[in-house]
């Protein structure tokens, strides 16, 4: 066999190996400016990996069992500001803002975050109404108060986890006037918006998500929806208008109460008067 043929075979072999390595799902974790990448195999081999049962899985709408790693284990040793968040970015543009004290909690009397890892030898089922599973990396919650964790704080198909300043610090255009009293309902609406809406939408061009449209520029929903229609749309978009590519889900009462929808709408109305340049 000639040297040229041997060289071609070597190149082809390296190319195949490189392609297989590149195709392996990885998740990036960035804390304090340091980025680490983890494969599924590396996570499943960690000492803290365990089988967990989730009685009320938000993404699947039923009980599920996973092989998972305590998320707090991956964050150990990092000195971070108390008001910082862990931003979980998914492959579809979803970007959840998770309070750091919530994701670092280890007390099962409340809610404990686990990073579930899909074993390719035992793939998870497809998500309801979707052609894909929640894998390969999905943030789930167990503990006595797991049901209190908001629906948008269960991000799936995660590609990146990164410590970030609080959203209102990172994006001042989200913030309300400091003169507003701490008990003003607009502040509660802002907190709900950041948790429930900023995961898919931007506001005043602020945010990391790429799933839904900006909700303040060029127009805010309060400027083109009748109040009752807007509340109904937030509760269940398909009850107002539907289309094949719609991704916004319905929010049942146990995930978002009527009072909480009112608070979000109040914040939207407030921020409509504080538009940034288009």
C-alpha distance from residue 44 to each of 40, 48, 116, 133, 188 (Å): 6, 9, 9, 18, 39
Return the CATH number of 24-165, one of 2.70.98.60, 3.90.420.10, 3.40.1260.10, 1.10.260.40.
3.90.420.10
Domain ranges in the chain are: 24-165, 168-271
pLDDT at residue number 1: 53
Average pLDDT over residues 236-256: 92
pLDDT digits (tens, 9 = 90+) for 142-178: 999 999 999 999 999 999 999 999 999 999 999 999 9
| Separation of alpha carbons 25 and 135, rounded Å | 10
Q: Which residues of 47-63 are buried (b: 16+ CB within 10 A; e: fewer)?
A: eebeebebeebbbbeee
* CA 247 to centroid of chain Cα atoms: 14
pLDDT at residue number 2: 56
Return the CATH number of 168-271, one of 2.60.40.420, 3.40.630.150, 2.80.10.50, 2.60.40.60.
2.60.40.420
| Separation of alpha carbons 223 and 123, rounded Å | 45
Mean pLDDT of the chain: 91
| Separation of alpha carbons 103 and 70, rounded Å | 9
* Distant-in-sequence, close-in-space partners of 121: CB < 8 Å, separation ≥ 6: none
pLDDT at residue number 6: 47
């Amino acid at each position: 066999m000639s040297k040229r043929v041997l060289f071609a075979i070597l190149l082809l072999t390296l190319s195949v190996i490189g392609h297989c390595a590149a195709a392996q799902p990885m998740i990036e974790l960035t804390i304090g400016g340091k980025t680490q990448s983890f494969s599924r195999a590396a996570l499943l081999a960690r000492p803290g990996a365990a089988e967990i049962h989730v009685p009320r899985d938000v993404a699947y709408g039923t009980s599920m069992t996973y092989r998972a790693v305590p998320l707090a284990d991956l964050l150990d040793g990092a000195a971070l500001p108390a008001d910082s968040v862990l931003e979980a970015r998914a492959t579809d543009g979803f970007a959840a803002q998770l309070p750091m004290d919530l994701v670092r909690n280890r007390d099962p009397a409340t809610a404990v975050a686990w990073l579930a890892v899909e074993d390719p030898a035992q793939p998870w089922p497809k998500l309801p109404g979707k052609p894909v599973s929640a894998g390969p990396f999905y943030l789930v919650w167990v503990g006595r108060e797991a049901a209190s964790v908001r629906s948008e704080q269960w991000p799936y198909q995660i590609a990146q986890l990164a410590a970030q300043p609080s959203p209102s610090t990172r994006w001042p255009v989200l913030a309300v006037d400091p003169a507003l009293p701490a008990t003003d309902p607009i502040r509660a609406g802002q907190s709900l918006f950041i948790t429930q809406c900023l995961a898919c939408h931007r506001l005043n061009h602020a945010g990391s998500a790429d799933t839904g449209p900006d909700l303040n520029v060029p127009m805010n929903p309060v400027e083109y929806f009748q109040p009752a229609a807007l509340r109904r749309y937030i509760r269940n978009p398909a009850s107002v208008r539907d289309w094949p590519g719609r991704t916004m889900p319905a929010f049942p009462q146990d995930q978002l109460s009527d009072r909480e929808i009112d608070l979000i709408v109040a914040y939207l109305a407030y921020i409509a008067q504080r538009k940034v340049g288009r």
